[in-house]
Amino acid sequence: MAFIDWVLHPTELWAAFWYVMRHAPPDEKTMQLQVSGDMKRCYDFLEMTSRSFAAVIQELNPKLRDGICLFYLVLRGLDTIEDDMTIPGAKKRNLLETFHEAIYQDGWTFKESGPDEKDALLLVEFDVVIREFLRLPIEYQEVIADITRRMGAGMAKYTRTRVESLDSYNEYCHYVAGLVGHGLSRLFAKSGLESPAVGENLELANSMGLFLQKTNITRDINEDVLDGRCFWPKAIWGDYAATEDDLISKTNREKGVDAMNVMCVNALHHIPDVLEYLSQITEPSVFKFCAIPQTMAIATIVLCYDNPRVLDDNVKIRKGEALKLISQSGNLDSVKRVFYRYIEMLERKNHPSNPVYAQVNKIIDKTKKDIATTLKGGAPVDLTKEYLVLAVFLVTITTFFYSYLTQTS
């Protein structure tokens, strides 16, 4: 299957080749950063907790790299506590609400995570993160502590509150992801690499986080419901299912897909803000750091749209596709072309029989028009048919030669 995927998507094979040639293995990359001691251990934790984020963080400008690595690890520690269903409610809320104080307590660790928490080791050795956090410039510490305080309070609130309305859905996503956008934007500005305006216009930064979080929440519905929780707002799913379990039930499949499509529409509304935010970013490594998750998100939400497999499994874009997106996230024009390409894919998936057809069509038309009027050279040319013809030709030739060699051996 993997071989056929590569044959059907030759540009992804090329992107994978260049990625391997240009990127060192994790251990080598950490050595190239010329860090040692506690900071080296922090980069080890970064690799353990999120290899995808580790790659883009390690390529950031040195003025930001360590600060954002530690920002990520602090929030990962907070998130690990929130996700741990074995911690009693009152104790969890206290930990979440005071975590911003713990990061100033030299030697603080947490060793009571549940047995299934994959990032428990980070909290066991959290004193390593704290020591490096306390070595950061004060202005970086203040941003990280402020975001941690506000996020912890929001997480604590939603240990007792269900996501019911669209407002509560936006609020929850703000707490767990929009605030990350706030913090990163303020760090970009504090570093001097980006304009102070980037750290002040936080509505756009919030949308960056919400687009990512809403995409993940939409995609993860099967896993979340099986874990006994659901972050889809009842204001949406309540029109299509009697219970959260019914959302993923095969006996309610058509309505489940309809609910998922409404979730996709909700996420897609953030596209204009995402592209506007990226248009402000000027430093190349910061741009790529911001753009890569967004191009992954547009690919993922388009994959989810009208796709019943999402209700049965955790669907993901192809690895080759992800590597291709990384290679195409280096500048604003290239990112706009990526968004245009996936919006055209969405257009092909959007059938008139779909209840949200008109809403999706409106988003498609606006996005294509906005991109075409600002993109150098105008709207990109869709070569999908040409690529399909080439792919069929390559599969035919490969099959012929494989059959021939099998018969003659």
Residues 6+ apart with CB under 8 A from 12: 5, 6, 318, 320, 321, 323, 324
Looking at 192-311, list the stretches that DSSP marks H as alpha helix, in order from N- to C-terminal side. 202-219, 221-226, 234-237, 244-247, 253-268, 271-280, 284-304
Residue 67's nearest CA partner among 149, 174, 195, 190 is: 190
Which member of 110, 169, 289, 342 is catalytic? 289
77-82 own/partner pairs: CB under 8 Å, 24+ apart: 77/110, 77/119, 77/122, 77/123, 77/126, 77/129, 78/148, 78/151, 78/152, 78/155, 79/176, 80/113, 80/117, 80/119, 80/120, 80/122, 80/123, 81/110, 81/113, 81/123, 82/155, 82/159
Which member of 76, 93, 186, 219 is catalytic? 219
Which member of 99, 169, 172, 188 is catalytic? 172
Catalytic residue check, 17 = no
Catalytic residue check, 277 = no
Catalytic residue check, 133 = no
Catalytic residue check, 149 = no
Q: What are phi and psi of 115, to 5 degrees?
A: -65, -20
Q: How many residues does the chain have?
A: 409
Measured distance CA(303)–CA(112) in Å, rounded:
38
**Residues that are catalytic:** 172, 219, 229, 289
